């Protein structure tokens, strides 16, 4: 009896009396003890683990959306480039991007720092360009978009659409003059194809016209949604030749008389990208401004095929950024006394996001390998663009859902990805147009009209 009495005294001393009194107001101790007494040792351990919040005190795993370690297949030199881009985006872009997104402005002070990375025109041979693989270009696009899709879009217009037009379709003289300047960001470029009344129908319906007059060409018409155009030095303009009806391409310097670019305001997506509506009224350019090999829409299509793969990688980056921010949030956010990352439904959301993200990454990985091997066709790039942008919408939406109300606040970043995913979904070919390109390839029948 004495030993039992001593045990009770030790037990009482070990208890927090205030907590016991507070708990006594909420539960019946005798009933609770009776229920606990019916549990075996295993059940008691499981209950205690649940009450303590599972593995809350364990070291958390590194948050990495590259679940299958695709980066490990890159050569060491290329992996170094990838990490330099990641560091640049984390250190220079991430701290300021929400403020610029809010202001609808572009952080021009980043351009010299971006130039120092020496990644512009990454896949081109010669003209001061690095001559790297399309696979590395995809990883670079992904790394940029993982922090901010606007910066990756600015870069894609400069390095892909503008420089790509000159690299694939320009004369040797045009390439030697413009590509080194664009590669170093000494000149900023833009790409003018879409028009106010012509989006998906650009292949046969450009309203911007051009006519040869002596040694010059006269451009008339409008272009819309032209990224970088409010502060670019040149814009690659595609127009329909009034004489033969074919699409021609031109390097138009933005200080040319008759050329005017007006900023598009009140966008809800890619707010950092400075899009413009361009108006050309009897805009006269010399014959030397015409892209030598841009004489039909088929010629232009080679540029779009090359850059569409990068857009699919951008979608991967946008989705990966949202996923990684969401995972971190679930660790930080506590409800019912523990991190929400320990809840079953939250983990199910995260796994669904990661499954789609991993499928996207592997698709783009194979796409870039085909591009490096010279096997890429329009339908390959289009399928990746369709699938990846669709899945990106799903992933960013789920990331926002995981964050609850905080998911719509800019400070948590995912709201920016939700908005930007809508732009990626539409630009460089809508889901419907790209689906028809793939549909034509698998059925042998065109359903465009």
Per-residue pLDDT of 28-86, as tens digits, reads: 767 777 777 777 776 766 667 666 655 556 688 999 999 999 999 999 999 999 999 99
The percentage of the chain sitting over the pLDDT mark of 90, rounded to a whole number, equals 79
Residues 381 and 367 sit within 8 Å (Cβ to Cβ): yes
Across 440-445, average pLDDT: 94
Confidence class of residue 306 from pLDDT cuts 50, 70 and 90? confident
Closest CA to 291 of 245, 241, 227: 241
pLDDT in tens, 132-166: 999 999 999 999 999 999 999 999 999 999 999 99
Across 239-262, average pLDDT: 96
Q: For position 215, what pLDDT does the model report?
A: 94
Is residue 5 classed exposed, middle or buried when 0-12, 13-18 and 19+ CB atoms within 10 A define those classes?
Answer: exposed
The percentage of the chain sitting over the pLDDT mark of 70, rounded to a whole number, equals 91
For all residues of the chain together, what is the average pLDDT?
91
CATH class of 190-289: mainly beta
- Where are the CATH 1.20.140.10 domain residues in the chain? 297-443
* Long-range contacts of 257-266, Cβ-Cβ distance < 8 Å, separation of 24 or more: 257/283, 257/284, 258/219, 258/282, 258/283, 258/284, 259/235, 259/283, 261/226, 261/229, 261/230, 261/232, 261/235, 263/230, 264/224, 264/225, 265/104
Fold held by 70-188: Butyryl-Coa Dehydrogenase, subunit A; domain 1 (1.10.540)
pLDDT at 203 over 70: no
Q: Identify which has the larger pLDDT, 9 or 152.
A: 152
Residues 434, 387: Cα–Cα separation, whole Å: 10
Residues 15 and 29 sit within 8 Å (Cβ to Cβ): no
Distance, C-alpha 400 to centroid of its chain: 16
- Where are the CATH 1.10.540.10 domain residues in the chain? 70-188
Closest CA to 131 of 87, 182, 183, 92: 183
Fold held by 297-443: Butyryl-CoA Dehydrogenase, subunit A; domain 3 (1.20.140)
pLDDT at 405 over 80: yes
The structure tokens 């400069």 sit at 158
């Amino acid at each position: 009896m004495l030993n039992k009495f001593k045990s009770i005294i030790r037990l009482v001393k070990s208890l927090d009396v205030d907590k016991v009194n507070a708990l006594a107001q909420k539960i019946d101790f005798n009933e609770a003890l009776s229920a606990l007494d019916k549990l075996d040792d295993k059940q008691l351990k499981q209950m205690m683990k649940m009450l303590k919040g599972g593995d809350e005190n364990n070291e958390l795993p590194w948050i990495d959306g590259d679940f299958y370690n695709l980066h490990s297949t890159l050569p060491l030199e290329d992996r170094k480039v990838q990490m330099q881009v990641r560091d640049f985006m984390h250190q220079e872009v991430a701290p300021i991007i929400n403020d610029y997104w809010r202001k609808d402005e572009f952080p021009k002070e980043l351009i010299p720092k971006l130039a120092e990375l020496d990644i512009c025109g990454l896949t081109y041979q010669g003209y001061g360009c690095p001559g790297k693989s399309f696979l590395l270009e995809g990883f670079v696009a992904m790394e940029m978009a993982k922090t901010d899709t606007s910066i990756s879009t600015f870069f894609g217009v400069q390095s892909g659409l503008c420089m790509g037009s000159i690299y694939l379709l320009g004369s040797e003289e045009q390439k030697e003059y413009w590509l080194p300047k664009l590669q170093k960001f000494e000149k900023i470029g833009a790409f003018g194809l879409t028009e106010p009344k012509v989006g998906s129908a650009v292949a046969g319906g450009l309203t911007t016209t051009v006519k040869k007059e002596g040694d010059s060409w006269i451009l008339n018409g409008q272009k819309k949604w032209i990224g970088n155009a409010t502060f670019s030095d040149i814009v690659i303009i595609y127009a329909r030749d009034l004489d033969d009806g074919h699409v021609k391409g031109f390097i138009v310097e933005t200080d040319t008389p008759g050329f005017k670019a007006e900023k598009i305001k009140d966008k809800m997506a890619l707010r950092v990208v400075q899009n413009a509506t361009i108006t050309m009224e009897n805009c006269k350019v010399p014959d030397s401004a015409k892209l030598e090999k841009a004489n039909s829409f088929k010629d232009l299509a080679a540029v779009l095929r090359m850059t569409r793969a990068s857009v699919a990688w951008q979608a991967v980056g946008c989705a990966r950024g949202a996923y990684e921010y969401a995972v971190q949030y679930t660790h930080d956010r506590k409800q019912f006394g523990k991190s929400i990352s320990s809840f079953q439904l939250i983990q199910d959301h995260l796994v669904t996001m990661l499954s789609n993200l991993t499928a996207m990454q592997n698709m783009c990985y194979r796409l870039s390998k085909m591009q490096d091997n010279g096997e890429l066709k329009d339908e390959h790039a289009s399928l990746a663009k369709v699938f990846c942008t669709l899945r990106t919408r799903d992933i960013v939406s789920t990331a926002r859902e995981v964050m609850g109300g905080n998911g719509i606040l800019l400070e948590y970043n995912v709201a920016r990805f939700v908005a930007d995913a809508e732009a990626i979904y539409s630009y460089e070919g809508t889901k419907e147009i790209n689906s028809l390109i793939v549909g034509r390839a698998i059925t042998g029948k065109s359903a465009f009209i």
